[in-house]
Amino acid sequence: MHARDYRAVLNAIKSKGYKAKFVPITWPRTTIDKWVTELAAVYGKYDPPDTILAGFSWGAMTSFAVAAERAPAELWLFSLSPYFMEDLGSLPKSWLTKIGHRRVSAFQNTSFSRLAAQIGCPVKLFAGERELRKWPATSRRFHDAAKKFKDCAMVIVPDAGHEIEHANYITALRENI
């Protein structure tokens, strides 16, 4: 998996007056169940009404799943991955092969619709313009998510792909959080 430098993201969030904490997740050879357990352990130390949960890609899926169990003040989802049970049938087989059968099996038990029904806080959905054009499954997940949340703001980041560290993504963060 691609290693990302989240310093610019954290600095953008902090520049708006928020305190930000990066939560490292063990991604290699693990499934969403483990990711949720790791994030929930850290999130359990915070008061949900005073906390904003945010995540990128699989981290967005993870933050979303945790938010469904213990509602934060807000939920910010950056480049939400399309690996929910509702998405798996439309994904290219190469994507499923690449992530492995254990992850696919775990994602088959992760329903976007079920989790979305439990979200009552405001949601901000971000996605790169190029990633939405390049990957139809990501575009479908983004637009479907926007319809499922009661209070949702959508931000499509111009000329950005699946790269939260992209300068345009950082600008969009500063302008929309």
pLDDT tens-digit series, residues 17-33: 999 999 999 999 999 99
| Domain locations in the chain as residue ranges | 7-176
Q: State the virtual CA torsion across 4, 152, 31, 96 in degrees, nearest 10.
A: -90
Question: Length of the chain in residues, anyone?
Answer: 177
β-bridge mates for residue 124, sequence order: 76, 153
The model carries a pTM of: 0.95
Q: What is the mean pLDDT of the chain?
A: 95
Q: How confident is the model at residue 3 (pLDDT cuts 50, 70, 90)?
A: low
User: What percent of the chain stands above pLDDT 90?
Assistant: 97
70: tokens are 């213990």
Q: What is the largest CA-CA distance in the chain?
A: 43
148: tokens are 């499922």
- What is the fold, at CATH topology level, of the domain defined by 7-176? Rossmann fold (3.40.50)
Residue 114's SS3 state is helix
